[in-house]
Amino acid sequence: MILKRATSQLFKTANFKLGLALLSTVMLAACGGDNSSSSSSSSSLTLNLNAAYGKYTIGGSSVTGTISGYCQGTKTWTLSPTYAGKTLDGKSALLQNEYELDNMAANSNQFCKSFYSSNDISKVKYVNYYDPNTLVPIDSGSNPPTTVYQNQVPFPTSVTAGSSGTWFTTLTYENSVPTVSGVLTWAVTADTPTTLLFTTTDTAYTYVGKLLLFKSITTYRLNADNTLTDLRKNIQVTTLLTRDGDQNINEVYQQP
């Protein structure tokens, strides 16, 4: 699982993906949170975030949601169970296929059409790579590089409301030149007497000038059985990418 940004990546990530055309726009420009209700009743609750993330990643997941705000439509996003394999440069890894199906409003603007452009749920959109021991995201091993993960830290086995940290940082390259730098942080807040809220914030900047490109905030419910449930995502996109002012996109996922 990439709590995309997955960068999309999450984000990888996390689920914000930057295409080459957008990156080119960003480089030209460079050269010239989530409102979650919470309850203090879970303030002393302790859960295993590492185990929950492991179950979510290894077992795969699928969500369907409604897109609102600057973009309008629906989305289905599926992560396959992980499977043993190798990176493109031959290192052992766990791999995961990512699939997406987008149905956008007929009058969608060009940014939304480009960002939500997947029309075949059976086609692999991305392959995610994980360390087979710690399950932190790792590079694909491509040459030249695409997104390079750095400073990865496994999620803790014990978290309470107020726990927080940095999961990893990234550098995204185009034609071997770094263009985007990113950081994915996480925080745990109170929810119910038996659950916590787990929120990741994926922030990306231009490598030159450190101009903000986007911030993607994803919220999950961390359940008492140490599992994760997708709740919602808020994507804050700056005018460097939209060319139409700073904008907000919301994804709210259906609950089982």
Is 1 within the bounds of a domain? no
Distance CA 245, CA 98 (A): 30
Q: How many other CB atoms are there within 10 angstroms of residue 239's CB atom?
A: 11
Distance CA 99, CA 251 (A): 16
Is 135 within the bounds of a domain? yes
Is 8 within the bounds of a domain? no
- Per run of 10 residues, the mean pLDDT along the chain (length 256 residues) is 39 36 44 43 85 97 97 97 98 97 96 94 96 97 95 98 97 94 97 97 96 97 97 96 95 90
Q: Which of 8, 30, 35 is nearest to 203 (CA)?
A: 8
Number of domains in the chain: 1
Containing domain of residue 31, as a range? Answer: 20-243
Is 116 within the bounds of a domain? yes
Distance CA 236, CA 249 (A): 7
Is 45 within the bounds of a domain? yes
Q: What angle do CA 41, 45, 48 make, to 5 degrees?
A: 145
Is 253 within the bounds of a domain? no
Three-class SS state of 41: helix
pTM reported for the whole predicted model = 0.86
Three-class SS state of 188: strand
Tokens 């790579």 belong to which residue?
129
Q: Are strands 126-130 and 228-237 parallel, antiparallel or unpaired?
A: unpaired
Three-class SS state of 166: strand
Is 114 within the bounds of a domain? yes
Is 4 within the bounds of a domain? no
